[in-house]
Amino acid sequence: MRHEEGTFTGLHGLNIFTQAWLPDEPPRAAVILVHGYAEHSSRYGHVAACLVEHGYAVYALDLRGHGQSEGRRVYVGRFDEYVADLRAYRERVRAAAPGLPVFVYGHSMGSLIGLLYASGDQGDLAGLITAGTALRLSGANPVLAGLVRLLSAVLPTVRLGPPLAASKISRDPAVVQRYEDDPLVDRGAMRLRWLSEMLSASRQCIKLLPTLTVPYLALHGSADTLTLPEGADIIRQASGAPDTTVRLYDGMYHEVHNELGKEQALDDIVAWLDAHLPA
């Protein structure tokens, strides 16, 4: 396996960090990983290694304001800025892997970025995978959304509330400890503008689900208290893609790829990818 790092210029001139894990033999397809809130792409090295072992080239970016990319930490003016960066990165992947079918795998916040990208560029993807799909957020309700929207208009960069609870991402104590000790993970409270944009993106994705046609695999832990498993039910009921598969993992928390028993989730991802390679 070869590992490469690079950068590209994202929206508004920000420097966006990228990395790729590549098989030694010609790859069967490419998978673009889109990470979640406050984390970064290097936390997915084991996911990439699993996919590379099965012949897939894996590409990932640190979203603006995350990891090794530029930008105010965990802040975004508009959620579409994330989508624009993913779209620009997709063009770089196209140049690096010409002719290969491309899948997008988005986790949590990255699931919304993936859904928004897929809804506008469905002809460009062989399939979409989301995990911990952020369609229903813990504690979110219309009153809170309205209040956050008002506050974010005047105090967009202010941080409010506690940081994301590391103990809720996985039942594996080693995963939680590495997350808490990781200097590239942002451990501050959420910014008001980011939260407002996240809530808006969740609503937008629910509205767009019926228009989805690309093959779709959605994974969720049944004990996820950050992005609620109700999101998996919404996908099952509302997805317009005839080829939609929803997998719920009993007892797992938010990061099914980092959970005790993660091997089952990774095996399911590989099997789904294998089954959806173009003839």
Specify whether 62 is catalytic.
no
Give the whole-angstrom CA distance, residue 158 versus residue 152. 8
Catalytic annotation, pick one of 69, 108, 152, 202: 108
DSSP symbols for 100-116: --EEEEEETHHHHHHHH
Specify whether 108 is catalytic.
yes
Q: Which two tokens stand for residue 66?
A: 């995350």
Closest among 163, 249, 145 to 206, alpha carbons compared? 145
Catalytic annotation, pick one of 107, 254, 257, 276: 254
Place of tokens 């970064």: 40
Q: Which two tokens stand for residue 153?
A: 């208009």
Handedness of CA 61, 66, 70, 71 (dihedral sign): positive
Catalytic annotation, pick one of 62, 85, 186, 224: 224
Give the whole-angstrom CA distance, residue 84 versus residue 77. 13
Specify whether 254 is catalytic.
yes
- CB-count exposure of residue 279 (10 Å: 0-12, 13-18, 19+): exposed
Give the whole-angstrom CA distance, residue 98 versus residue 29. 10
Task: Name the residues annotated as catalytic.
Answer: 108, 224, 254
